[in-house]
Amino acid sequence: MRTKEDCVAILIVTWIMALIVCGVGHCESAYSETAVKTIAMESANQSDYGMYAVSSVIVNRSVDSNKTIKSVCLARKQFSCWNDKIWAKAWLDRFYTPEVRGRSVLALNKALQDPIRGINHYHSVKVKPYWAKGRKPSLIIGEHVFYKL
C-alpha cells in the first residue's frame, strides 16, 4: 500500500512530466478539464486501455502541433463529442460521474507520462471517415481504430 508521501511524490513527478510534455507556460493545465471531459465523452464505454489510447492521441497531437491540450480537444471537427454542444452538455449532465472522471484522469495521467507512440487519429469501428480510406490502422482497441497520419 502506498504511503501519503508516496502519493505526494507521484503527484509531483506527474506535474513535472506534464510541464515537460506541454512546455512551461504552454499548457493551461496538465489536467485540463476539457481534456478529461473529451476523454470521458469519447471513450467512457471503452476499457481503461482504450481510454489511455484516446488520451495518447490527444497528448501526441499536442506535442506534434505544439498546441495546448485544451486547444487540441476543442479544434473544429477533431473530436466528435464537441461537434454538438447541446449533446455534449446532455452527456456530461447524465454520464460524467466521479468514477468516469476518475478513469479519464488516470488515462490522461498515463498518457502524459508515456503516450502510445505512433497514434494521432482514431474513429469508431461503426464509421469509415474519408481520411481513413486507404490507410492501415496502427491499433484496434475495443470499438476504436487508431492511426498514425
Inform me whether the pLDDT recorded for 7 exceeds 70.
no
Task: Check: CB of residue 111 under 8 Å from CB of residue 73.
Answer: no
pLDDT digits (tens, 9 = 90+) for 83-110: 999 999 999 999 999 999 999 999 999 9
Inform me whether the pLDDT recorded for 9 exceeds 80.
no
Its domain, for residue 123, covers 4-147
pLDDT band, residue 28 (cuts 50/70/90): very low
Unique residue bearing C-alpha cell 461537434: 83
Contacts of 111 (CB under 8 A, 6+ apart): 52, 55, 56, 58, 59
Tell which wins on pLDDT, 27 or 131.
131
pTM: 0.80
Total tally of structural domains belonging to the chain: 1
